[in-house]
């Protein structure tokens, strides 16, 4: 139908007042070349400057601009989740509001979607950021994520991506998991491609990325690996660890008994006996933990309607 929206552009905003008008103008220029109905969704993630006032002005003059305002700052994952939930387009593109991404790249991303890909990831090959504090840690994190998730990408943290909405809307985002969307979509069978994306040096504001986030990403990778491989069968993970501990317990107990009856080594002085008891307890605990995880997983799948954010206001939605 002619009235159906083809493209939804989602952009989280947090204290981006200086860049918003220029960003809007560049987005409108890029969307004008597409000749299909589109919408722009700005998610104000608790801005403390005049970002929301400027966004409201843009929405007042353009009903294709839609605003979601959070009651406080929830972080980029929640902002993207809100935008994705409300997007009506067949294709969804995300991009940051700081003008480091270039809206002129939008047609190239759409070309790949039209070729049949479900996710197009922008690769900031010529990244205009500080090497030691941002680029190098990002390269290390990308290498680790690619190795663990088996989805090989140069730039998991790229803020510019294009999605086929049918798959994206089946993914629930919590915590700081937005950078792992490619891994989740691959798990759902999505066809993924990575293309070079233009990256500009920061002109306005301050980066929200800190070096500490790189270390937190490593912790998140462990969570993602578990969710991708064991979310439907946590007992296989915890039960496997439990049986491994129980097997080690029997082996250490056997070794202790051999020393006792074969070499007259007193069990009271043999640490293997204590190790065996400890491993047996750990094994039983892991199995019980697996049972609890199975129950929690069923509760999780039965409560998918819970949101991770609170919307204070909506405009044109």
Q: What pTM was computed for the model?
A: 0.75
Per the CB < 8 A criterion, the answer to whether 78 and 154 are in contact is no
pLDDT of 109 above 90: yes
Per the CB < 8 A criterion, the answer to whether 84 and 76 are in contact is no
- pLDDT tens-digit series, residues 54-86: 999 999 999 999 999 999 998 888 999 999 999
- Output the pLDDT for position 115: 95
User: What CATH architecture is 7-231?
Assistant: Alpha-Beta Complex (3.90)
Short-list 225, 31, 6, CA closest to 113? 6
- pLDDT tens-digit series, residues 22-62: 999 999 999 988 888 999 999 999 999 999 999 999 999 99
Q: What is the C-alpha R_g of the chain?
A: 25
Instruction: Extract the tokens encoding 56.
Output: 């409201």
Q: Which contiguous run of DSSP H or E holds residue 281? A: helix 271-302
Measure the N-to-C terminal CA separation of the chain; round to a whole number of Å: 20
Cα–chain-centroid distance for residue 54? 28
Rounded Cα distance, 223 and 237, in Å: 13
Instruction: Extract the tokens encoding 169.
Output: 């809307």
| Tokens 């301050």, located at residue | 206
- pLDDT tens-digit series, residues 137-152: 778 888 888 888 888 9
Short-list 187, 192, 194, 183, CA closest to 160? 194
- pLDDT tens-digit series, residues 217-271: 777 787 777 777 777 778 888 888 899 999 999 999 999 888 888 887 777 778 8
- pLDDT tens-digit series, residues 81-103: 999 999 999 999 999 998 888 99
């Amino acid at each position: 139908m002619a009235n159906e929206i083809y493209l939804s552009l989602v952009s989280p905003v947090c204290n981006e007042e200086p860049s918003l008008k220029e960003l809007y103008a560049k987005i409108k220029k890029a969307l004008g070349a597409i000749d299909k109905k589109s919408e722009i969704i700005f998610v104000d993630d608790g801005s403390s400057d005049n970002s929301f006032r400027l966004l409201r002005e843009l929405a007042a003059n353009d009903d294709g601009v839609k605003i979601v305002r959070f009651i406080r700052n929830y972080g980029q994952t929640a902002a993207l989740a809100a935008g994705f939930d409300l997007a009506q387009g067949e294709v969804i593109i995300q991009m940051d509001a700081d003008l480091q991404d270039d809206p002129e790249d939008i047609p190239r991303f759409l070309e790949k979607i039209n070729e049949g890909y479900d996710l197009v990831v922008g690769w900031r090959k010529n990244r205009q950021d500080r090497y030691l504090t941002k680029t190098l840690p990002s390269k290390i994190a990308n290498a680790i994520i690619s190795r663990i998730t088996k989805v090989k990408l140069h730039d998991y943290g790229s803020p510019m991506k294009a999605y086929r909405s049918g798959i994206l809307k089946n993914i629930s985002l919590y915590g700081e998991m937005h950078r792992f969307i490619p891994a989740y979509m691959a798990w759902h069978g999505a066809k993924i491609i990575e293309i070079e994306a233009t990256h500009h040096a920061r002109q306005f504001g301050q980066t929200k990325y800190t070096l500490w986030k790189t270390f937190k990403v490593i912790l998140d990778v462990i969570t993602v690996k578990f969710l991708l491989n064991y979310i439907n069968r946590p007992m296989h993970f915890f039960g496997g660890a439990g049986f491994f501990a129980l097997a080690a317990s029997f082996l250490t107990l056997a070794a202790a008994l051999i020393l006792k009856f074969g070499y007259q080594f007193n069990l009271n002085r043999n640490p293997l006996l204590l190790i065996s008891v400890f491993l047996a307890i750990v094994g039983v605990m892991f199995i019980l933990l697996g049972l609890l995880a199975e129950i929690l997983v069923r509760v999780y799948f039965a409560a998918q309607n819970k949101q991770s954010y609170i919307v204070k206001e909506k405009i044109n939605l």
